[in-house]
Amino acid sequence: MTSNSDSRGSGCVFVAAAIVLVGVAALSVLTVYVAYARRIPADSPLARMYRTEADLAALAKAVDAYRAAYGAYPDAGQEGLRKACAALSEIANYLPDGPPLDGWNRPFHYAPVAEQDAYRLHSAGALDSESGFIVHGDPEKSWRPHYRALQREYMKAPSQKPLRLR
């Protein structure tokens, strides 16, 4: 006959083993992700696209913060984005240097759409055509197949410089 303390002890061992297994699995997934992310060169189309998507999200937060503070969207263009970044930086030191450039070192495009009480915020991206635009608010992210194709071409091309791990 087993005592009550023996069953509690084996239960604790089981829980501890389960926690260790979950931790090992999480570490394995993280290691694979980091290894994959490090394989994407910083100047590749996918890296530029992801950086541009992240910057678009930050700029959208700035525009929304401006609207919340002043009751209207900022003026169109870079001056409007500068005002939005300044409004957000008053709340949190988020974009103190103003609007960043996109992944191709070009300015983002911003314009309020008064009839819809909304705004359009996008990057022309690498393709300089509507299909290559990276647009804030597109839930389907319709530009991604174009950049995946560009990434495949980029990875096939002979490299002029060695790949660096960050």
What does the pLDDT profile of the chain (166 residues) look like in tens digits? 555 556 666 777 777 777 777 766 666 665 655 555 556 888 899 999 999 999 999 999 999 999 999 999 999 999 999 999 998 888 888 888 899 999 999 999 999 998 888 999 999 988 756 667 899 999 999 999 989 999 999 888 876 554 443 3
Q: List all residues 6 or more positions away from 62 whose beta carbon is below 8 Å from its beta carbon.
A: 81, 84, 85, 87, 88, 94, 95, 99
The CATH fold of domain 45-156: Glycoprotein, Type 4 Pilin (3.30.700)
Tell me the sheet residues that pair with 122.
Answer: 109, 135
CB 36 within 8 A of CB 57: no
Q: What is the pLDDT of residue 92?
A: 84
pLDDT for 81 = 97
What pLDDT score does 30 carry? 56
Of 79, 128, 66, nearest in space to 102 by CA: 128
